[in-house]
Amino acid sequence: MASSLIWASLDPSVSKPRSFFPSKVPSLPSKQFQQSEAVVGFRNNRVKEAAAASIRKVQLVSFAASAALLLCSSPANAGFFSGFSGIESVPGPELPQIDFLSRWNEENQKKYAEADAKFKESPLLKKLLEQTRLNKEKNRQATLDKYCIRGAEWGVGDCSADGMSPQDRDNFISMLKKKAGIEE
């Protein structure tokens, strides 16, 4: 409806909004087709052409505006706050130092540092780190073995058994499973 109002406003001879599609289309040319119907068709074509031209103009204007924004953009200016890094950068007021709290804090820091050093040198931590390293290597090898077996079964990858006879292929896969510790 809105588009028909726009098209009607482009043609001053059209008094009321018309639909884009005619309501009654003659199926066959006949004698009843008169000059007035031809004029209405001509008007509709003029309206269509005018609408297409206006759409092209809107598209051109929107493209030009987008290009202007893209090419001529500059950083936003926030006025007073432009360049102001925020309240976090402003140092707060100097608080009074209480000797008792300062000494207590230093003592605690020393205790924590000694406990950290003692724990880092403890045999328990060394044992756990070594166990973690061994488990990591074992798990990596188990993962590689699993993918090698899968590749042999599917016939892809480095462990592919593609060119082997069926008996050799089965022997190879069973050997890989034994090496990996997988029971068949």
Distance between CA atoms of residues 176 and 164, nearest Å: 15
Within-domain flag for 79: no
Q: Tokens 């290009």 identify what position?
A: 67
Look at residue 21 and tell me whether its pLDDT is greater than 90: no
Within-domain flag for 105: no
Within-domain flag for 132: yes
Within-domain flag for 109: no
Within-domain flag for 168: yes
Q: Higher-confidence residue: 170 or 2?
A: 170
The predicted structure's pLDDT at residue 34: 47
Enclosing domain of residue 49: 2-22+35-68
Within-domain flag for 10: yes
**Domains identified in the chain, total number:** 2
The predicted structure's pLDDT at residue 82: 60
User: How sure is the predictor about 70, in pLDDT bands with cuts at 50, 70 and 90?
Assistant: confident
Within-domain flag for 98: no
How much is the pTM?
0.34
List CB contacts of 109: < 8 A, sequence separation 6 or more. Answer: none
Q: Higher-confidence residue: 25 or 58?
A: 58
Within-domain flag for 157: yes
The predicted structure's pLDDT at residue 87: 66
Distance between CA atoms of residues 156 and 154, nearest Å: 6
